[in-house]
Amino acid sequence: MASQLVWLIFLLPFLSFAVISLVVRPFLNGSARLSGYIAIAAIGGSLALSLLVLQEVIRAPGHELLIPRVTWVVIGTTELDLGLLVDSLTAVMLVVVSGVSLLVQIYSQGYMHGDAGYSRYFAFMSLFTGSMLGLVMADNLLQLFVFWEGVGLCSYLLIGFWFHRPSAANAAKKAFIVTRAGDFGLLVAILALYASSQAGTLNIKELHLLAETGALGGTFLTWAAIGIFAGAAGKSAQFPLHTWLPDAMEGPTPVSSLIHAATMVAAGVFLVARMFPLFEHSSQALATVAVIGAFTAIFAATMGLVAPDIKRVIAYSTISQLGYMMLGLGMGSVAAGIFHLFNHAFFKCLLFLGAGSVNHATGTFDMRQMGGLRRRMPWTFFTFVIASLSLAGIWPLSGFWSKDEILAVAFQGNFILFLLALATVFMTAFYSFRVIFLTFAGSYRGGASAGAGHGSQGDGHGAPSLHESPAVMVVPMVALSVMAIISGWFNLGGEFSGFLGEKAHPLGFFGALANPLALLSLGVAVAGIVAAYGVYGARWVSAEGLGRAFAPLYNVFIHKYWLDELYETVFVRWFLYTFIFGLMELFDTYIVDGLVNGAASLALGGGRALRRLQTGQLQAYGMAIFLGVLALGLIMVLIR
Amino acid sequence: MTVGLQHYLVLSAVLFSIGFYGAISKRNAVVILMSLEIMLNAVNITLVALSRYVTPVAMTGQVFAIFVMTVAAAEAALGLAIIIAIYRSRETVDVEKIDLMKW
């Protein structure tokens, strides 16, 4: 396969972005549907090429393709190259990103139908996918950072897609600024690696080698790894930088789907996996990743238990699942983390598309106004249940296999983190089925018309009429539900782990049911589902009663631990407004204004003093001229 | 005693100094104008003397002196006109009292 074709994988979506935004939008806006077809054709091409690359990588010795590097910039003796690093990790990510993105864009054709920003939407989606594909293929940190920021920019543009809505504009800003806090760590780490005598290179493979030989080590390596992890935590919404993700629900639902499954949040996990040799050789850095991951998993799950908005429940679930992936990575297993990323991409994408489909019918995201959709939307219901079962980790769906692997590595690593993860399994199963019972079971509670003024807005689908979504939306959901069932089976014999270069302990399809650890997690998950049925299905206990009984906990969860308020007060008001802006005001008043006024008064005072010389006395001037000539003459004589 | 270049130069220097002294110290604008004429003529003497003794063939110095005299005549005419104009408006030709051109 020619190396030019590999470059095309991420250049095709960029090309589609350019064509849509430079040709279709300005000149052919009457036929906006064209932009959807262009975007889908481009990403379809990327998917086809990605599959080819995957096949080649599987065949290649050492699971790596060598692509010639291209010189980018030469500054003095510093030469910056562009290159592609195509190994097993890249190949897996390429297929996930382009596959999920293709399905989401097909679905968007139905979901965004008739939106005024139809062309703009597909232009941004192309750019988003292209940036993510470029990110996973980058072979040096600088190139990676460029695409990393491209992904951040596109998430801003897409979360704030309906920018006329103040909440959407604010959510976009928040996503951009909060992730920027993490990016700062990443940038510092990149610069430090480049400047230090220990590393001095940004090439990822060279960095791996330096870490493995021990040339790069000690405290410096730990801090560099933690800086990289800070960037990853921002993008992957790990505590304490997770607050942007629930708010990011303001974007169109397919965007949330793409952000949560394949592009934005996967970037953080990918980055840690990509730089894993650096983490591997610093136990503190690895422990940081594991602890933050495990804590985020359970922390986000608690908030998911009570959220009334279907998209927010799924968003908290994403944060929680990302915590799992980080836990897997932190426990030293890239394969476990990436395998969960792989499976999660399909079922989480499906959950969001399901939520979008529900919104398409009811016009709201508030589950208190839903109910009874099972008979009206059988396909959505069916696929949503599959995705939820997979998310809950029920045998033999995909989520079971990867979650079980993470639990297994956590069990070997640290018992406390394992218990946290196990508790999260229960909560995950509970909130997943809480959504199902509230949305699809019981009787219909009125949709958007009942929810007017409840703050939970729909995606502009106007007057709702209960109906199943069109085929263009249902078909991608069915395709994803197939993946949500089978994607876990790729590692039945340890093939997936082996491909990523790790030894696996395969359980086998039925063997898993004989493994005590797997049975334990399965039992916990089933218990969660039964508990959800008890509260929201059969109503053995009323949900309101539970909320009152555990009022303090309920308040903490529903208010998201008051973290938004805390950040607002501490960082925005105190730090930004009072401290930074206060300092700037002082600087402006005393330094900038001082300089300007000082220059003016210097000129004024100087003028006042010097004008005394102008006496108007003709003869004084004459004398001065004479003395001046005399002085010049003297100087001439003396110099000669 | 033969009169040589030095004698002319000394004469010129003496005349120039007298003129300068007058121009700086006298208050009457007409006297200042006269002193200026003396200074110009002192320069003329130098020009002619140097021309005669240093480059006797080329008559540059003499020609230059003629120019100076022309300019001096024009200058005297202008100067006197200005002085008369000032006298008409301010009724004085005392330069210490003509000091409006200042801050």
CB A100 within 8 A of CB A262: yes
Does A133 score more than 70 pLDDT?
A: yes
Query: Each residue of A201-243: pLDDT tens digit?
Result: 788 888 888 888 877 777 888 888 888 888 888 888 888 888 8
Q: What is the structure's pLDDT at B12?
A: 95
> Tens of pLDDT along A583-631?
999 999 899 999 999 999 999 999 888 888 888 888 888 899 999 999 9
With respect to residue B54, please indicate whether it lies within any of the assigned structural domains: yes
pLDDT, tens digit, for every residue of A248-288? 888 888 888 888 887 788 888 888 888 888 888 888 888 88
Which of residues A462 and A473 earns the better pLDDT score? A473
Residues B99, A626: C-beta atoms closer than 8 Å: no
| pLDDT of residue A636 exceeding 90 | yes
- Is B95 a domain residue? no
Asked whether residue A545 carries a pLDDT value surpassing 80, the answer given is no
pLDDT band at B22 (very low <50, low <70, confident <90, very high): very high
pLDDT score of B64: 92
Find how far residue A484's CA is from the centre of its chain: 21
Which structural domain, as residue segments, surrounds residue B49? 5-90
List of chain A residues whose C-beta atoms are within 8 Å of the C-beta of residue B97: none
Instruction: Say yes or no for a CB contact (<8 Å) between A622 and B24.
Output: yes
pLDDT bucket at B103, cuts 50 / 70 / 90: low
Whether residue B99 is contained in a domain is answered as no
* Ranges A83-87, A195-199, B41-45: which has the least confidence: A195-199
Per-residue pLDDT, A456: 41
Considering only the beta carbons, identify the residue of B23, B25, B99 that sits closest to A616: B99
Q: Is A616 in the B-facing interface, judged by CB distances under 8 Å?
A: yes
Q: How many CB atoms lie within 10 A of CB A55?
A: 12
Please tell me if residue A619 touches chain B, with a CB cutoff of 8 Å: yes
B98 CB within 8 Å of a chain A CB: yes
Distance from CA of A621 to the nearest CA of B (A): 9
B97 domain residue, yes or no: no
Supply the pLDDT for residue A460: 54
Residue B98: inside a domain: no
Q: What is the CATH number of the domain that holds B68?
A: 1.10.287.3510
Structural domain count, chain B? 1
> Is residue B78 one of the residues assigned to a domain?
yes
Domain contains B59: yes
* pLDDT above 70 coverage of chain A, percent: 95
Q: What is the pLDDT of residues A533-543, one digit of tens each?
A: 888 777 777 77
Q: How far apart (Å, rounded) are the C-alpha atoms in residues A212 and A215? A: 8
ipTM: 0.83
Query: Degrees (nearest 5) of the Cα angle A16, A17, A20?
Result: 80
Q: Is the pTM of this model over 0.90?
A: no
Give dist(CA A221, CA A282) in Å, integer.
7
Tokens of A431: 């909130």
Q: How far is A604 from chain B (nearest CA, A)?
A: 14
**Residue A472 is inside which H or E element, if any?**
helix A471-486
Domain contains B64 = yes
pLDDT of residue A324: 85
Shortest Cα distance, chain A CAs vs residue B20, angstroms: 9
In a 3-state reduction of DSSP, which class is residue A624? helix
Restricting to B residues 13-42, those with a Cβ less than 8 Å away from any Cβ of A are: 20, 23-25, 32
For residue range A363-416, list pLDDT tens digits in order.
777 777 777 777 778 888 888 888 888 888 887 788 888 888 888 888 888 888
Q: A166-195 and A141-159 are packed helices; what angle lies between their axes, rounded to 10 degrees? A: 170
Query: Which is higher by pLDDT, A567 or A631?
Result: A631
Q: Which of A604, A610, A617 to mutate to test the interface with B (most CBs of B within 10 A)?
A: A617
Average pLDDT, chain A: 83
Which residues from A are below 8 Å from B98, CB to CB? 616, 618
Q: What percent of chain B shows pLDDT beyond 70?
A: 99
What's the rounded mean pLDDT across residues B47-71? 91
| Whole-number percent of chain A with pLDDT over 90 | 6
